[in-house]
Amino acid sequence: MIIGFIGLGIMGAPMARNLIKAGYKLVVYSKSKKYDELCALGAEGAASYKDIAAKSELVITMLPNSPQVKEVLLGADGVIEGIKSGTTVIDMSSIAPSVSQEIGKALKSKAVQFLDAPVSGGEPKAVEATLAIMVGGDKASFDKVKPVLEKMGSSVTLVGGIGSGNTAKLANQIIVALNIAAVSEAFVLAAKAGVRPQAVFDAIKGGLAGSTVMNAKVPMILDGNFKPGFSIELHIKDLQNALDTAHDLGAPVPLTAGLMETMQFLKNDGYAASDHSAIVRYWEQMAKQEVRK
């Protein structure tokens, strides 16, 4: 199968590499260093997004947000202008569910199947090919491409119709962000009380408070390591999509709204490109207490 892969950023590049390792032929288009690296691994270069679509049986996009996905898929010289009927497009970006539905309708007019399939796990799991992939679309299209998705993730789940994948991702991002915030508040309290944070982590990680988020982020916080696996700026983007969707639906999300203000403060304070574990810096600054080993 020839796969067109668009979006060679922190997440997209390792995902594309894993597809090449799995034996798939990739077609790519980019002006980044990652483009040259993938071509060196055997990917074929293309002249445009339209050209990628014309050369591919399956097109995958992994882009920052809704406007970029719409432009690449539906814009001038975009995928929709070169794609063949019967092709499948999988958007693995994290975007607004309503935009996924809009794109799905546009591609359906070209007899093209569309799936929204955002991921969770950040750069480490993208590299390891152990992402959690949540998919929206019809089952027949899902079944056809599931083997491809399984080369990038250890968990691949069909959630419902188009847009459902991104709805699940919004739920995921709310839970992750609030979990990091809860961990931050609790560990700053413990450190301020003079209790060693590492000891607190060891004591509670096996209990009900334990979580994948805690296990991934507390060691980073204790080391003062905020190198981005998933940045605060990107999480702000996801929470904004969550807030917009919630407002459209009339679903209350007051905890998300409050944390958005915290993250906006951190962005303005110079932490936009830091890992979202740097949420702890808000509580550390307020309490004048760092959480370190």
Active site residues: 169
Question: What single-letter DSSP state applies at residue 43?
Answer: P
**Angle of CA points 104, 108, 111, to nearest 5°:** 145
| Beta-carbon count within 10 A of 260 CB | 18
Is the Cα torsion angle 180, 175, 261, 122 positive or negative in sign? positive
Q: What are phi and psi of 126, to 5 degrees?
A: -65, -40
The CA distance from 73 to 93, in Å, is: 12
Burial of 11 per CB tally in 10 Å (0-12, 13-18, 19+): buried
The CA distance from 242 to 211, in Å, is: 22
Question: What single-letter DSSP state applies at residue 231?
Answer: B
Question: DSSP alpha helices (H): ranges in 90-227?
Answer: 97-108, 122-128, 139-149, 164-192, 197-204, 212-223
Burial of 133 per CB tally in 10 Å (0-12, 13-18, 19+): buried
**CA of 135: how far to CAs of 11, 54, 75, 197, 205, in Å?**
17, 24, 24, 38, 30
**CA of 259: how far to CAs of 97, 177, 209, 270, in Å?**
21, 8, 20, 17
